[in-house]
Amino acid sequence: MRETSNHELNPNVSVDNVILGFDDDEIKVLLIERQPAGSSNGSLALPGNLIYDDETLDQAAKRVLMELTGISDIYLQQFHTFGDPGRITKKQDIEWLKAVRAHPEARVITVAYFSLIRIDEYEPTPSAFAKNAIWVPVDEVKSLVFDHNEILNKALVDVQQKLYHQPIAFKLLPEKFTLAQLQRVYEIILQTELDKRNFRRKILKTGFVLPLDEKQQGVAHKPATLYMFDQSKFNGGLQVSHF
């Protein structure tokens, strides 16, 4: 019989992290190549693993991300739990579990988290069973292990919806950014084009994006004003009154 507060891996519960990154150009997701790869030609996965019995789910997500990719100090947000008993069917997934897990046959449910970060502010360094950690543009992602494609897709949909209510766009930008960069983030996440003048008006009217006394440097055109996000002035999203 297992005990509550032991530092033991729980064979039935894992966490998976969808880390989305931005490099001024496109949205990428952080994937790991599993070690051992078994028969596979480099099977890719979201960074995830079993939880310990004495940590919260949030702590587990942070720890697992750190252990597999070296990335720490980012805000991870739970978005859905996946628990289809049939989520492990691929032969090479089963082989991999046999190689690394104490209870490879156990039914595992996984609590999924996402985060948005700026790619150039983090340097993934694979460890534990991650042979490699790479950024892959989200529309170039091929088949992932387990049900990780499904998890990634749901994360992308959720991020789109949360863009209106949470200040997540700013997590994809450096602390000081131009409005053009911010607009690009919105356009890429929403997969649409926005009018520059209307976008600026709307963003500035919210009051939580503040101009600095500072301009871009070394660009071959008129330098843009830099702006900052002011958390203290953020009160719950772009105001949307429904009634």
Partner DNA sequence: TCAAAAGTGTTCAAAATACACCCATGT
Partner DNA sequence: ACATGGGTGTATTTTGAACACTTTTGA
Q: Please list the residues that pair with 49 across neighbouring strands.
A: 15
The span of 18-26, 105-113, 118-126, 226-234 binding its own copies (CB under 8 A) equals 105-113
Residue 106 binds to its own copies (criterion: CB under 8 A):
yes
The answer to whether 61 and 113 are in contact (CB under 8 A) is yes
Structure tokens belonging to residue 25: 């150009």
What residues from 68 to 87 belong to the interface with its own copies (CB under 8 A)? 78, 80-81, 83-85
Interface with its own copies (CB under 8 A), residue from 3, 73, 139, 213 = 3
| Interface region with its own copies, contact rule CB under 8 A, candidates 32-40, 106-114, 118-126, 149-157 | 106-114
82 or 122, CB closer to its own copies? 82
Cα angle value 51/55/56 (rounded, 5°) = 95
Decide which of DNA, its own copies, none touches 13; Cβ closer than 5 to 8 Å per partner kind: its own copies
Residue 191 binds which of its own copies, DNA, none (CB < 5-8 A, kind-dependent): none
Q: Which is nearer to DNA, 98 or 201 (CB)?
A: 201
Q: How far apart are CA 64 and CA 61, in angstroms?
A: 5
Return the one option of DNA, its own copies, none that residue 223 interacts with (CB less than 5 to 8 A, by type).
DNA
Q: Which two tokens stand for residue 105?
A: 């046959």
**Interaction partner, residue 25 (DNA, its own copies, none; CB < 5-8 Å by kind):** none
Position 235 contacts its own copies (CB under 8 A): no
CA angle 177, 178, 183 (to 5 degrees): 105
Instruction: Give the residue from 10, 16, 141, 142 showing the smallest Cα distance to 69.
Output: 16
- Interface with its own copies, residue 56, by CB under 8 A: yes
* Binding window for its own copies (CB under 8 A); candidates: 99-107, 122-130, 132-140, 204-212: 99-107
Counting Cα atoms < 13 Å in the Cβ hemisphere of 73 gives 4
Beta strands in the chain (DSSP E): 9-22, 27-34, 44-45, 48-52, 77-82, 109-118, 130-137, 209-215, 225-229
If we measure between CA atoms, which residue out of 67, 68, 59 comes closest to residue 34?
68
218 interacts with, out of its own copies, DNA, none, CB within 5 to 8 A per kind: DNA
Q: Taking CB under 7 A as the criterion, which residues in 164-223 touch DNA?
A: 178-180, 195-198, 200-202, 215, 217-223
Largest CA distance in the chain: 69
How remote is the C-alpha of 8 from its chain's centroid? 26
- Residue 90 site contact among its own copies, DNA, none (CB < 5 to 8 Å, cut-off depends on kind): none
Nearer to its own copies, 52 or 135 (CB): 52
